[in-house]
Amino acid sequence: MQRKTVNALRKLALVVVISSIALFAPVKALFIYLAPQSEDIQTELDRAIDSGIAGMIVHVDAGKNTLPQSYAAGLHNRQT
């Protein structure tokens, strides 16, 4: 009897977790993640802003031989 109760509670917990993910997860972020990526970082930032994200800042430090670069898009965007 104890084992049946534990298995039933596990199945119930699985249903609750999957349904809460479906209800509360940001589905828009999934579409942004699955969209094909462009070659330019600034284009990706503009695409994310167009899909509803308020603002983004990206800092790219590629390695020893290149200078670090910063990109910004969205709310209070400043060109420096």
pLDDT for position 77: 60
The answer to pTM > 0.85 is: no
Q: What is the pLDDT of residue 52?
A: 79
Question: Is residue 58 helix, strand or coil?
Answer: strand
Q: Where are the beta strands (DSSP E) in 5-75?
A: 55-60, 69-74
The string of pLDDT tens digits covering residues 7-44 is 999 999 999 999 888 788 777 777 777 878 888 888 88
Check residue 17 and give its pLDDT. 93
Q: Is the predicted pLDDT of residue 1 greater than 90, yes or no?
A: no
Tokens of 62: 């590629």
